[in-house]
C-alpha cells in the first residue's frame, strides 16, 4: 500500500469516527463516544506514521505524490478533482495535527465528562480533525477551500458549544463572520491565480507560475494579497484577529486544539504551501511579514494587561503565530514550521493546564482571583512551568530552538527584515513577561480560598454557576457547562495527555539544533526545493549568536516578571498608574473592536435598516407592489363603470361596434 492510500485512510478515520458517534449517539453509553473519537484519531495518527515511513522510503526527488479519487469537473478549462497531495509538508502537518489531536481527545474524555453535550462534542471534534486534515492534504485549490470552510464551520460549532450562553453564541458568530471574510479572500485569490495559470491543481500551478507571471506582476500580487487576507483571518492576525480572544468562550480543550495548535496554523500552512507564488510576488510576502510582526508586538502588549487566564494564553497564541507568519513570509520555512510544531506542543499543554486550573477554580477564569495554587495543584504547576519556559524560549526547551531560529534567519536576510528580527526579540521579552506574570500570579503567593479548599482535598464547587465573563447566573443544563469540574491531579487521561505534551515540549527541540542536526529542514526539503529563499540559511555561528541573544532576553523577561509580581507585589499597580494611558490602550485591546464596530458594523447596520425601510417597505411594498395593485384597481374600477346594467346602453355599444366594423370594411374595400 502506498503512501497515498494511507493518506486517504488518514482522512477516512476521523470521518468514520464522527459518523459512528453522530449516528449512534442515542445508543453509545457513558464515555464510549470519547474513546471512539480518540481511537479514530489515534488510528489516523498511526496511518500518518505509516505515510511518513512510506514517504521516507522513497528517494528525495520523488516525495511529492498526488492521488485522485474522483473527477468533479474537467471541462471548460476547470480541472477539479477529489485529490490529495502527499508530500513532506503535508505529512508534517498531518503528524502534528493528528498527534496533538489524539492527546487532546484523550484529555477531553475526562474533562467533558459531566457535560450533557458530551457526545455532540466528540462528534464535532472529530469533524474538525477531519476538516483540518482535509485542508492540509488537499491537492488542489478546490479541496483546500472546502477544508478551509469546513474548519471554519467546525470552529463555529465548537466555540458556541455551550449554546445557551449568549456570550458564547456571539463569539461563535463573530469568529464565523471574520472567517468568511477570509474565505472570500481565499476564493478570490484563487481566481486571480487561476485565470492566469488555468489549473487548479497545486503542483501544476507551482510549475506553471514562473512561466505565467513575471516578478511582482500586479495580478499575482493581488492574488497573493487576497490569499493573505484568508491566512490572516484564519490565523487571527491584525486586523482580522478580534475573534480569537472571544473564541475562548468554547471549552478549554477546544481552545487548545483549534485555537492554539491546529486551526490557527492553517494560515501559516497556506503561505508555506503557496511559497512559489509568494516568492514571485515579494510585495505580498513583505506585507505578510509586516502583518505578522505587528501582530506579535500588539498581542504581546495586550497579554500584559488582560486578566482572564485563557485570554492571556490566546494573545500569546496570536503573538506566536505572528512569529510563524513573519517566518514563512520571509522565507524561513523550516524554522517557522518547526516553531509551528513546538508551539503546538507547549501551547496545547498550557491550555490543558489552564483547563485544570479553571476546574480547580470552579469555572472562574479571572487571574485576579487566583493565587497560591502551587501546593494544591503540583502537576498542573509543573506543566505550566514547562509550557511557560518552552514558550518563553529558555534553553534547552523546544521553543528556544524554534523561535530563535526564525529570528536568526530574519537577521540573516537583512534589510527591513533585521528590524523585524529586533521586533521579534522585543516580542520575546514580552512573551517571557506575560507568561510568567500569569504563572506567578496564579501559583505563587498566598493560597486563595479555592486553593486552600483543594489542599484539604475538596474541589471548589460553584453553587450558583455564573458566566465567567459577565458574571450572569446560568445553570448546568444542556447547552451550559456541566456541574462538575475536573483537575489533572485526579483524572488520569488528563494527566497522561499533559504529561506526553510536556515531554514533547522538553525534548522536541532536539529535532533541529543548528549545527548538530537539521531533521526538519532535510525532511521538508523536497517541498521547498525550488525556493531560493530557503536555500540561503544563516551560518551555524550566526544562528547560535541569535539563539544566545534570545535566551538571554527570555531569561531577562522571566527575571523582570519575578521581580514585579513576586518580590515586590505592588510594583504592577504603580506601573499601571504611571503609564495609565498605555495601560488603557492595552487593556482595551488597542481598541480594535471599537474600530471595527465604527468602521464596518455600524455602516452595514445602517445599510440594512435603510434597505428595510426605504427599499423594502417603501419602494417595493408601497410603490411597486402597492402601486401596481392600486393601478390595476383603478383601471378595473374605471372599466367597471361600463357595466351599468342598462340594457339599452349595451345595445348602443353593440350598435357602435357594428358600425365600427362596417366602416372598417367600407374603408378597406376601397369605398
Partner 1 sequence: MSAVLFFIAAIGAITGAIGVVMLRNQFYSVLALVCHLVSLAALFLLLRAEFVAAAQVIVYAGAVMVLYVFVAAYIGGNEEVPTRSGLRVLGPLLALALAIELCVAMLGTALKGISGKGAPYLPGFGTPQHIGRLFLTKYLLPFELASLLLLVAAVGAIVLARRRRGLEPDEELEARYHPRMPTWIGSMAEAGGITHYDEPPAAPAETETDTESTPEGAPIGSQN
Partner 2 sequence: MAIGWYLVVSAMIFAIGAAGVLVRRSPLVILLCLELMLNAANLALVAFSRMWGSEDGQVFALIVMVVAACEVTVGLGLLVAMYRRRLPIDVDDLRELQG
Of 313, 317, 173, which is closest to residue 237 (Cα–Cα)? 317
Residues facing 303 on adjacent strands: none
Residue 669: CB minimum distance to partner 1, A: 6
Q: Output 515 or 633, the one with its CB closest to partner 1.
A: 633
Buried b vs exposed e over 382-409: b needs ≥16 C-beta within 10 Å? bbbbbbbbbbbbbbebbbbbbbbbbbbb
Q: Name, in order, each residue with C-beta under 8 angstroms of 447's C-beta and a sequence gap of 6 or more.
A: 371, 372, 373, 375, 376, 455
Interface residues for partner 2 in 440-499 (CB under 8 A)?
A: none
Q: Which is nearer to partner 2, 578 or 648 (CB)?
A: 648
Which one of partner 1, partner 2, none is in contact with 666 (Cβ closer than 5 to 8 A by kind)? partner 1
The smaller minimum CB distance to partner 1, of residues 548 and 635, is found at 635
CB within 8 Å of 95: residues ≥ 6 apart: 45, 48, 49, 52
Q: Which does 419 bind (CB under 5 to 8 A by kind): partner 2, partner 1, none?
A: none
Complex with partner 2: residue 571 or 644, whichever CB lies closer: 644
Site for partner 2 in 342-371 (CB under 8 A): none
| Residue 647 site contact among partner 2, partner 1, none (CB < 5 to 8 Å, cut-off depends on kind) | partner 2
- Cβ 184 to partner 2, closest distance in Å? 58
Binding site for partner 1 (CB under 8 A): 625-626, 629-630, 632-634, 636-637, 640, 643, 648-649, 652, 655-656, 658-659, 662-663, 665-666, 669-671
| Residue placing its CB nearer to partner 2 in the complex, 73 or 637 | 637
Q: How far is the CB of 633 from partner 1 (least distance, A)?
A: 3
Beta carbon of residue 648, minimum distance to partner 2 (angstroms, whole number): 5
Within positions 117 to 176, which residues make up the interface with partner 2, using CB under 8 A? none
Shortest Å distance, C-beta 642 to partner 1: 12
In angstroms, give the least distance from the CB of 612 to partner 1: 18
- Give the footprint of partner 2 on residues 29-58 (CB under 8 A): none
CB-based contact 296:427 (threshold 8 Å): yes
Residue 59 near which of partner 1, partner 2, none (CB within 5-8 Å, type-dependent): none
- What's the rounded Cα separation, in Å, for the pair 588 and 305? 9
| Smallest distance from partner 2 to CB 667, Å | 18
Indicate which of partner 1, partner 2, none lies near residue 636 (CB less than 5 to 8 Å, by partner kind). Answer: partner 1
Closer CB to partner 2, 650 or 664, in the complex: 650
Taking the alpha carbons of 482, 487, 491, 492 in that order, is the dihedral positive or negative? Answer: positive
Shortest Cβ 670–partner 2 spacing (Å) = 19
29 binds, among partner 1, partner 2, none (CB under 5 to 8 A by kind): none
Write out the binding residues for partner 2, residues 610-669 only, by CB under 8 A: 640, 643-648, 651-652, 655
- Sequential DSSP letters for 194-231: HHHH---BHHHHHHHHHHH--TT-HHHHHHHHHHHHHH
Binding partner selected for residue 644 from partner 2, partner 1, none, CB under the kind-specific 5 to 8 Å limit: partner 2
Other CB atoms within a 10 A radius of the CB of residue 128 amount to: 26
Given the complex with partner 1, which of 30 and 671 has the nearer CB atom?
671
69 binding partner (options partner 1, partner 2, none; Cβ < 5 to 8 Å by kind)? none
Identify the DSSP state of 600.
I
Q: In a 3-state reduction of DSSP, which class is residue 81?
A: strand
- Of residues 588 and 659, the one with the C-beta less far from partner 2: 659
For the bound state, the minimum distance from the C-beta of residue 666 to partner 2, rounded and expressed in Å, comes to 13
Indicate the residue among 470 and 621 with the shorter CB distance to partner 1: 621
Size of the site for partner 2 (CB under 8 A): 10
Which C-beta is closer to partner 2: that of 62 or that of 640? Answer: 640
Through-space distance between the first and last CA atoms of the chain, rounded to whole angstroms: 98
Contacts of 479 (CB under 8 A, 6+ apart): 116, 117, 162, 163, 164, 165
For every residue of 356-422, which 3-state class applies, written as one string? Answer: HHHHHCCCCCEHHHCCCCCCCCHHHHHHHHHHHHHHHCCCCCHHHHHHHHHHHHHHHHCCHHHHHHH
Whether 253 and 117 have beta carbons less than 8 Å apart is answered as: no
Long-range contacts made by residues 183-188, C-beta under 8 angstroms, separation at least 24? 183/145, 183/148, 183/149, 183/152, 183/230, 183/233, 184/229, 185/226, 185/227, 185/228, 185/229, 185/230, 185/233, 186/144, 186/145, 186/148, 186/226, 186/227, 186/229, 186/230, 186/270, 187/145, 188/223, 188/226
Residue 595 or 654: which CB sits closer to partner 2?
654
Residues that bind partner 2 (CB under 8 A): 640, 643-648, 651-652, 655
Amino acid at each position: 500500500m502506498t503512501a497515498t492510500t494511507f493518506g486517504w485512510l488518514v482522512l477516512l478515520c476521523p470521518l468514520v469516527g464522527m459518523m459512528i458517534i453522530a449516528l449512534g449517539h442515542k445508543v453509545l453509553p457513558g464515555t464510549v463516544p470519547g474513546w471512539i473519537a480518540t481511537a479514530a484519531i489515534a488510528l489516523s495518527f498511526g496511518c500518518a506514521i505509516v505515510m511518513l515511513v512510506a514517504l521516507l522510503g522513497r528517494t528525495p526527488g520523488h516525495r511529492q505524490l498526488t492521488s485522485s479519487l474522483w473527477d468533479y469537473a474537467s471541462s471548460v478549462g476547470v480541472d477539479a478533482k477529489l485529490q490529495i497531495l502527499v508530500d513532506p509538508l503535508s505529512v508534517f502537518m498531518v503528524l502534528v495535527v493528528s498527534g496533538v489531536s489524539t492527546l487532546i481527545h484523550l484529555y477531553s474524555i475526562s474533562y467533558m465528562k459531566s457535560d450533557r453535550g458530551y457526545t455532540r462534542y466528540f462528534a464535532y471534534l472529530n469533524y474538525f480533525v477531519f476538516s483540518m486534515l482535509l485542508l492540509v492534504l488537499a491537492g488542489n485549490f478546490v479541496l483546500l477551500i472546502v477544508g478551509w470552510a469546513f474548519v471554519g464551520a467546525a470552529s463555529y460549532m465548537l466555540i458556541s458549544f455551550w449554546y445557551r450562553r449568549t456570550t458564547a453564541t456571539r463569539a461563535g458568530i463573530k469568529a464565523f463572520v471574520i472567517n468568511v471574510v477570509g474565505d472570500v479572500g481565499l476564493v478570490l485569490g484563487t481566481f486571480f491565480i487561476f485565470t492566469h495559470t488555468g489549473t487548479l491543481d497545486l503542483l501544476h500551478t507551482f510549475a506553471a507560475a514562473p512561466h505565467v507571471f513575471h516578478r511582482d506582476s500586479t495580478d499575482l500580487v493581488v492574488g497573493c494579497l487576497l490569499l493573505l487576507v484568508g491566512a490572516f483571518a484564519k490565523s487571527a492576525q491584525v486586523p482580522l484577529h478580534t475573534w480569537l480572544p472571544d473564541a475562548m468562550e468554547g471549552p478549554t480543550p477546544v481552545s487548545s486544539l483549534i485555537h492554539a495548535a491546529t486551526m490557527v496554523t492553517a494560515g501559516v500552512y497556506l503561505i508555506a504551501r503557496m511559497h512559489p507564488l509568494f516568492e514571485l510576488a515579494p510585495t505580498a510576502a513583505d506585507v505578510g511579514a509586516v502583518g505578522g510582526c505587528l501582530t506579535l508586538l500588539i498581542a504581546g502588549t495586550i497579554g500584559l494587561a488582560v486578566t482572564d487566564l485563557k485570554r492571556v494564553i490566546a494573545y500569546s497564541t496570536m503573538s506566536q503565530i505572528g512569529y510563524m507568519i513573519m517566518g514563512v513570509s520571509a522565507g524561513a520555512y523550516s524554522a517557522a514550521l518547526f516553531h509551528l510544531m513546538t508551539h503546538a506542543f507547549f501551547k496545547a499543554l498550557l491550555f490543558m493546564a489552564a483547563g485544570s486550573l479553571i476546574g480547580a477554580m470552579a469555572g472562574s477564569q479571572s487571574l485576579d482571583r487566583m493565587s497560591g495554587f502551587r501546593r494544591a495543584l503540583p502537576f498542573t504547576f509543573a506543566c505550566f512551568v514547562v509550557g511557560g519556559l518552552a514558550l518563553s524560549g529558555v534553553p534547552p526547551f523546544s521553543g528556544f530552538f524554534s523561535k530563535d531560529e526564525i529570528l536568526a534567519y530574519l537577521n540573516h536576510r537583512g534589510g527591513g527584515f533585521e528590524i523585524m528580527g529586533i521586533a521579534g526579540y522585543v516580542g520575546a521579552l514580552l512573551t517571557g513577561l506575560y507568561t510568567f506574570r500569569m504563572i506567578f500570579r496564579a501559583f505563587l503567593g498566598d493560597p486563595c480560598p479555592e486553593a486552600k479548599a483543594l489542599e484539604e482535598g475538596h474541589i471548589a464547587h460553584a453553587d450558583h454557576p455564573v458566566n465567567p465573563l459577565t458574571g450572569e447566573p446560568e445553570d448546568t443544563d444542556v447547552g451550559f457547562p456541566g456541574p462538575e469540574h475536573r483537575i489533572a491531579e485526579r483524572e488520569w487521561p488528563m494527566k497522561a495527555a499533559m504529561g506526553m505534551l510536556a515531554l514533547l515540549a522538553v525534548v522536541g527541540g532536539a529535532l533541529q539544533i543548528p549545527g548538530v542536526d537539521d531533521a526538519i529542514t532535510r525532511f521538508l526539503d523536497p517541498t521547498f526545493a525550488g525556493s531560493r529563499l530557503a536555500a540561503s540559511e544563516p551560518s551555524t555561528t550566526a544562528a547560535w549568536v541569535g539563539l544566545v541573544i534570545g535566551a538571554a532576553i527570555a531569561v531577562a523577561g522571566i527575571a523582570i516578571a519575578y521581580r514585579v509580581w513576586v518580590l515586590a507585589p505592588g510594583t504592577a499597580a504603580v506601573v499601571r498608574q504611571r503609564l495609565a494611558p498605555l495601560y488603557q490602550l492595552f487593556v482595551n485591546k488597542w481598541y480594535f473592536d471599537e474600530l471595527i464596530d465604527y468602521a464596518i458594523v455600524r455602516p452595514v447596520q445602517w445599510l440594512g435598516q435603510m434597505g428595510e425601510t426605504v427599499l423594502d417597505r417603501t419602494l417595493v411594498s408601497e410603490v411597486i407592489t402597492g402601486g401596481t395593485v392600486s393601478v390595476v384597481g383603478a383601471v378595473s374600477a374605471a372599466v367597471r363603470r361600463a357595466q351599468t346594467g342598462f340594457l339599452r346602453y349595451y345595445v348602443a355599444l353593440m350598435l357602435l361596434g357594428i358600425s365600427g366594423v362596417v366602416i372598417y370594411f367600407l374603408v378597406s374595400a376601397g369605398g
